[in-house]
Structure 1
Amino acid sequence: MDLSQQYIDKTRALLTTIEKQKTAILQAASWFSESILAGRMVHVFGSGHSRIMVEEMWPRYGSFPGFNPIVELSLTFHNLVVGANGQRQAMFLENVPGLAPRILRNFELSEKDSALIISSGGCNLVPVEMAECLKNSGVKVVALVTLAHANESSSKRADGKKLMDFADLVLDTGAPVGDAMIDVPGLDTPVAPGSTVGGAVIVNSIKAEVAQLLTNAGRPPKVLSAANKVGAQRATEIFESAYDEHAHRLSKLYAKVGIESYVSRES
């Protein structure tokens, strides 16, 4: 039995599911481009494995400033697996109430902002509360979930609400319940998840549409590019200017945050 071929075939099925969401992808791109053109940012958050999609959006080759990657190490650092900073603690912290608003306390939010919250199951407390807090601040929230899995999962909240309940728009990776897509003969648990593949396709589809919208608006993005594509000098110039633009955008989130001081009054 050719299991690798099965995985490839099932991945093609994910693409079919994603292709049916092109209208929603365009809507997300429209909201995100509006935030970026306004000089603001798109807040991108994911805990656990969903961190991958955050970093897929920015910063990496083929990406550009305008996105605020919110990655908490306590929720995403899995390399040690056990012991100090291990996986058990990270999974515990994903369901600690009140952590999301403490994270967002660091930023001055605006109704001009938008957000992408990634959570395959859509049920852990921190991403759900993150979406809730952002929505309550007037921020447009796009949720990236595995819809079949999320619908079959139980929310960790007492009221039963899930990430989708606080989203203005929901995008689906297309992966199955449980995420893993391949049944191995003699093994009673499936392997080889699909949400990362589906999520990466959706994230980069949005990214491409945003780039076109920014370019059409006369604000072409500073796209991080390889030296063997644009030349060493040009690549360095783009990296430096893109990182500086990120800093300029980020500074707006800090300048007047929280309790007023003489510094914030003068800024």
Structure 2
Amino acid sequence: MNPTIEYINRSRALLTTIEQQADAIQQAAQWFSQTILAGRMVHLFGSGHSRIMVEEMWPRYGSFPGFNPIVELSLSFHNLVVGANGQRQAMFLENVPGLADRILRNFDLSEQDSALVISSSGCNVVPIEMAELFQQRGIRVVALITKEHAEASTSKRQDGKKLSDFADLILDTGAPVGDAMLTIPGLDTPVAPGSTVGGAVLVNCIKAEVARLLTEAGHPPTVLSAGNVVGTERAVSLFESAYDEHAHRLAKLYERVGVPSYVSESTESVSQQQP
């Protein structure tokens, strides 16, 4: 079969797998919409190529504020491949214990928050520890993995636990073991991964369901939209409003983080005085 046609056919199979998870998608959207309606943020994290799904959720056309994309360049900056900031270093760092704690040290987390942690294998240390730390803070975790690949993979954690062990809900991209979906005659290694296709579909399904729930709750989201759809003036207004809302939500994650200072103490004093 022509590789293009075969890849398209296999991608259709991924859609079937995702369709069978409609109830789980609805549940994730319920949790995320509750977080956003509370004025908090849904934390998004993925190392390596899982960063793609983080940025697919926010910010881009057709998306809206309420999500906190946690992207560590040291874990996801791939384009140099070798040399300084190369892929070898990134692959090493995503299995360094304790790094997740250093990342989350920057945020004042709340039980009203929720999280989406993405890892196709579900076996690298940093995303596993991110999910574990979120759960320890009382935050619901949705894990986006490739189930067949994760089950066939070995955790890099010493205790053998995987991302799925620290998830309140698991979503499956539907890709095969090893991710690559095509076998080429004469080539002994498969090519063309599928987890990004499945992952992108999943996050956009969640995004659409969250938008519906927010709208039904009387708080329709401010969606980034193209000028050729809503007109140039409104497109600019939507972008400015959405970015400002993101800043306001993000401010809550920094306001009283970590060690108190005279700034955080004065802010708390002012808030207590307000009716």
TM-score range, shorter chain: over 0.9
**1:15-62 CA-partner distances (Å, limit 9, x unpaired):** 000000000000000000000000000000000000000000000000
Q: Does 1:227 align with 2:263?
A: no
What is the one-letter code of the residue matched to 2:86? G
What does residue range 238-257 of structure 1 map to in structure 2 within 5 Å? Answer: 238-257=238-257
Q: CA deviation at 1:197?
A: 0.3
What does residue range 253-264 of structure 1 map to in structure 2 within 5 Å? Answer: 253-264=253-264
- When normalised by structure 2's length, the TM-score is 0.97
What does residue range 120-135 of structure 1 map to in structure 2 within 5 Å? Answer: 120-135=120-135
Q: Distance in 1 between matches of 2:262 and 2:32?
A: 33
Q: CA deviation at 1:266?
A: 1.4
Which residue number corresponds to residue 9 of structure 2?
9
Which residue number corresponds to residue 81 of structure 1?
81
Q: CA deviation at 1:3?
A: 1.1
**1:211-238 CA-partner distances (Å, limit 9, x unpaired):** 0000000100000000000000000000
Q: Distance in 2 between matches of 1:239 and 1:25?
A: 27
What does residue range 51-200 of structure 1 map to in structure 2 within 5 Å? Answer: 51-200=51-200
Which residue number corresponds to residue 237 of structure 1?
237
Which residue number corresponds to residue 21 of structure 1?
21
Q: Distance in 2 between matches of 1:209 and 1:78?
A: 32
Q: Distance in 1 between matches of 2:87 and 2:260?
A: 38
Q: Distance in 2 between matches of 1:121 and 1:227?
A: 39
- When normalised by structure 1's length, the TM-score is 1.00
Q: Distance in 2 between matches of 1:21 and 1:214?
A: 21
What is the one-letter code of the residue matched to 2:87? Q
Number of aligned positions between the proteins = 267
Q: Per the alignment, in what secondary structure is the counterpart of residue 238 of structure 2?
A: helix
**1:117-151 CA-partner distances (Å, limit 9, x unpaired):** 00000000000000000010000000000000000
% same residue: 76
- Structure 1: gaps (5+ residues): none
Q: Distance in 2 between matches of 1:41 and 1:206?
A: 15
**1:148-167 CA-partner distances (Å, limit 9, x unpaired):** 00000000011100000000
Q: Distance in 1 between matches of 2:59 and 2:266?
A: 31
- Structure 2: gaps (5+ residues): 268-275
Q: Does 1:214 align with 2:232?
A: no
Runs of 4+ in 1 over 2 A off after TM superposition: none
**1:82-133 CA-partner distances (Å, limit 9, x unpaired):** 0000000000000000000000000000000000000000000000000000
Q: CA deviation at 1:169?
A: 0.1
Q: Distance in 1 between matches of 2:132 and 2:5?
A: 40
Q: Per the alignment, in what secondary structure is the counterpart of residue 116 of structure 1?
A: strand
Q: CA deviation at 1:12?
A: 0.4
**1:168-226 CA-partner distances (Å, limit 9, x unpaired):** 00000000000000000000000000000000000000000000000000100000000
Q: Distance in 2 between matches of 1:149 and 1:42?
A: 26
Q: Distance in 1 between matches of 2:233 and 2:22?
A: 37
Q: Distance in 2 between matches of 1:59 and 1:162?
A: 28
Q: Distance in 1 between matches of 2:157 and 2:79?
A: 28
